[in-house]
Structure 1
């Protein structure tokens, strides 16, 4: 059975958006050796349309069928970087999905809730807090 892994990636220091994408791709064990294709997939997704969901937050999401598990990576930057739409962002909820995934679907539904999004971008948030928010 496929398990969705939640990773809270705090206090990330990167000089720009592309390095952030590389950093996030490198978190996933199965693709840490080949971050280039993941970064290209994420960039291609942004060309379709911005994944901005709040002033300072984006939700890039891609399907990569070759990975063993789906991932929700909540990544918070120390300093904002310029995103594809020329706005500064400091929080990204990256959904790297193997395929049809109930946990990911549930997460996306929660992202429609402004208070959930606000809590996700809080600097002091803990992984267990995100997990409990998803159970609500």
Structure 2
């Protein structure tokens, strides 16, 4: 199937179209569902830095709660996986969007993977350690 291969093709950063979509703050959620229909396995492919699409979403667009919930519903097991720096998506969300106005995103991620709250990153930091003061 040509379409499935297109969904997992990598750019120079080792990113699939799903990775790139997670970096786009203006991407409609319908684009995610379209890419998911082409290639579900793209959710589990790391980029050159070990980031899954969920890592990138949490770091760059974690305030997009509807998209975050859709990604979590599509593939729950990646919510606790660590990237090349040992960070889970929860570490990245806490660092970038760990404020009261993003409690919905934090709650969704914690509900999907409660154990991620107890996983230290490569520097020994827990996600709670990275929340803004």
Per the normalisation by structure 1, the TM-score is 0.28
Where is the strand percentage greater, Structure 1 or Structure 2? 1
* Higher relative contact order, chain-length normalized (CA < 8 Å, sep 6+): 1
Per the normalisation by structure 2, the TM-score is 0.29
